[in-house]
Amino acid sequence: MVPVAPVSAATAAAPPRIDLDMYRRDGLIVAPVALPGTLLDRMRGSLDRLLENSADIAPESLICPHIPNGVRHPASEARTWFEYATQPFILDLVEQVIGPDIVLWGSQVFCKPARKGREVPWHQDGEYWPIRPLATCSVWIALDDATPENGCMRFIPGSHAAGSLYAHHDAARPDRVLGLEIDAQAYDVHTARDDVLMAGQMSLHDVFLIHGSAANRSERRRAGFVVRYMPATSRYDRSVPDSQTQAGVSFSLSRRPIWLVRGVDRAGNDFVTGHGADFGLVPRHSDDL
Ligand SMILES: O=C(O)CCC(=O)C(=O)O
């Protein structure tokens, strides 16, 4: 289990410091701040509507709800998820890890329904992502309590440290969320730790961290909203093959809109592609926020 530091609700005061030494050592840390209760309630309301609007998509694979055409919901709902993904107190945490120049490039709701929520095979996120050099901090926000019983995230502490990707093999199955699984010799499952989070808590993890989660066989739903941020010193590479599938869901990485949400772009990123008219007032740059 991850040692949980005392958690306070986010306020406008100075941003709480995360234990960077622990993040660098383990590759994952529980944030020392939780969502204010009112925000958590709003997010859970948004989740209910998202699940209703996107009932034909696997609830573990609701990719990029912050993008109007990412899942099936109105642009107004996407803007709300965008607002969640750009909360200043979350960016304050991310800034401590990846520095002041921050690009929001992805998000996903992983909602495992009670009794039948699917497994996430052991993987490294970087295996899937077109970011050069590869760098991302993912913030996993618990919308429900996430415990071993309902399939909380698990991770191999320190497995990110070499900064390299290990071989993955095809392991697609209908009861799994991702199609690839890391080869067994890359890690020792006995060293795995549970990322236990109460609703409103968040953890941050590194792009090279080996992690996954078991199926949810419990009577309790387990929903999380994960937001992906890269330092603007990296480039989002749009030359990757256009369509990949994740549990039968197609999504385009090459046409995905990305946003500079803090600081300055230092890598010549393309913040125009994918920002169609349907994005309405959603800004492309932090100056517009
Ligand atoms: O929610 C889960 O169980 C897995 C999440 C995950 O793989 C990720 O956020 O990178």
Could you give the CA distance from residue 118 to residue 216 in angstroms, rounded to a whole number?
6
Please indicate whether residue 139, judged by its CB atom, sits closer than 6 Å to ligand 1.
no
Report pLDDT digits (tens) over 195-224.
Answer: 999 999 999 999 999 999 999 999 999 999
Report pLDDT digits (tens) over 96-118.
Answer: 999 999 999 999 999 999 999 99
**Mutate which of 213, 216, 228 to test ligand 1's pocket (most atoms within 8 Å of Cβ)?**
213
**What interhelical angle do 75-85 and 37-53 show, nearest 10?**
140
Nearest CA residue ID for atom 10, ligand 1: 125
**Mutate which of 140, 201, 205 to test ligand 1's pocket (most atoms within 8 Å of Cβ)?**
140
Give helix then strand counts, H and E, for the chain.
Answer: 4, 19
Please indicate whether residue 181, judged by its CB atom, sits closer than 6 Å to ligand 1.
no
On whether the 23-281 domain is CATH 2.60.40.420, my answer is no
User: Each residue of 175-188: b (16+ CB within 10 Å) or e?
Assistant: ebbbbbbbeeebbe
Please indicate whether residue 125, judged by its CB atom, sits closer than 6 Å to ligand 1.
yes
The predicted structure's pLDDT at residue 13: 66
**Strand pairing class (202-206; 28-30):** antiparallel
The predicted structure's pLDDT at residue 3: 41
Give yes or no for residue 248 having a pLDDT over 80. Answer: no
Could you give the CA distance from residue 271 to residue 285 in angstroms, rounded to a whole number?
8
Please indicate whether residue 224, judged by its CB atom, sits closer than 6 Å to ligand 1.
yes
Sequence ranges of the domains in the chain = 23-281
The predicted structure's pLDDT at residue 56: 87
The predicted structure's pLDDT at residue 93: 97
Confidence of residue 283 (pLDDT cuts 50, 70, 90): very low
Nearest to 246 by CA among 58, 16, 72, 82: 58
Please indicate whether residue 138, judged by its CB atom, sits closer than 6 Å to ligand 1.
yes
**Strand pairing class (33-34; 8-9):** parallel
Distance of CA 154 from the midpoint of ligand 1 (Å): 9
Rounded mean pLDDT of 49-64?
Answer: 92
Please indicate whether residue 140, judged by its CB atom, sits closer than 6 Å to ligand 1.
yes
Yes or no: say if 106 and 228 are a contact pair by the CB < 8 Å rule: yes
Please indicate whether residue 213, judged by its CB atom, sits closer than 6 Å to ligand 1.
yes
Please indicate whether residue 246, judged by its CB atom, sits closer than 6 Å to ligand 1.
no
Please indicate whether residue 229, judged by its CB atom, sits closer than 6 Å to ligand 1.
no
Q: What is the value of pTM for the model shown?
A: 0.91
Rounded mean pLDDT of 134-152?
Answer: 98
Please indicate whether residue 153, judged by its CB atom, sits closer than 6 Å to ligand 1.
yes
Distance of CA 277 from the midpoint of ligand 1 (Å): 31
